Amino acid sequence: MPGLAGRISTVTKAKISHMLDRAEDPAETLDYAYERQIEDLQNVKKGIADVVTAKKRLQLQEQDLNQQVAKLDGQAREAMSAGREDLARAALERKQLIVQETSSLEQQVSELETEQDKLTTAEKQLQAKIEQFRTKKEVIKAQYSAAEAQVHISEAATGVGDEMADVGAAMQRAIDKTDQMEARASAVQELQDAGTFDDLTTLGPPQDDVDRQLDQLGAKTAVDDELSKLKAELGSGAQQPGLPAGAPADTEEPASQ
């Protein structure tokens, strides 16, 4: 199914592109591009050096050939002076071959000089472009850093960033736990006040709220009884001041005659 295969390929490429976009750092990408341009510039300079080296080697060969031409010319003259035309002819023939080779070397040197000029011009242009790119690269990096810092500041202020979202979630969990703990403490206190929980430190059988209310009622009655007796005793002592402390008051009336 070509259609399905093409769709799978498109989706896969889109996923990979999305992952690369998230992982790509513009500053690193620009620095890498600048480094590649520097490498290209170095290669151009190396090419210029190779061309100049080849030109110098050909020029040295040309100098050697020119020396040979001068030597053969002198030998031809000597041979003619000695009446040896045959030797003079042979020397001149060799001279012509060397002159032809020298002419070929001169052409090659001229071509290398032209190539050197082209490479030198290209090197200067490339160096100027690289310098412009370096300046623009630093400006873009500074702008990106400023924008990134602004995003972090805005996310921190608004709480929409991943880090602040984690902090906000942690704070919300802490608030929820605190509320739950306060509610539990209030519930325990309410149940304790209602007598739902037994005091494990109390000896004897456990008591519920009704038992405690009855005990409190009995204790209150006993206190009221003792208070009434105390009032009665103090009231009798006030009516008969001559009695010693603790002596019972004589409450009998005298018999009538």
Q: 76 is in which domain, residue-wise?
A: 21-169
In a domain, 32, yes or no: yes
In a domain, 254, yes or no: no
**What's the average model confidence in pLDDT over 82-107?**
88
Which of these ranges, 1-10, 77-86, 179-188, 237-246, has the smallest mean pLDDT? 237-246
pLDDT at 26: 79
Which of these ranges, 56-60, 65-69, 145-149, 153-157, has the smallest mean pLDDT? 153-157
Residue 174: φ, ψ to 5°:
-65, -40
Q: Tell me, what CATH number does 154's domain have? A: 1.10.287
Q: Is the pTM of this model over 0.95?
A: no
- Copy the structure tokens of residue 251: 């409450």
In a domain, 195, yes or no: no
In a domain, 221, yes or no: no
Q: Work out the pLDDT band at 255, boundaries 50, 70, 90.
A: very low
pLDDT at 191: 74
pLDDT tens digit string along 200-240? 455 455 555 666 666 677 777 877 778 788 888 887 655 55
Residue 104 pLDDT exceeds 70: yes
pLDDT at 235: 76
Distances (CA, A) of 200 to 196, 197, 211, 213: 12, 9, 16, 19
pLDDT at 52: 93
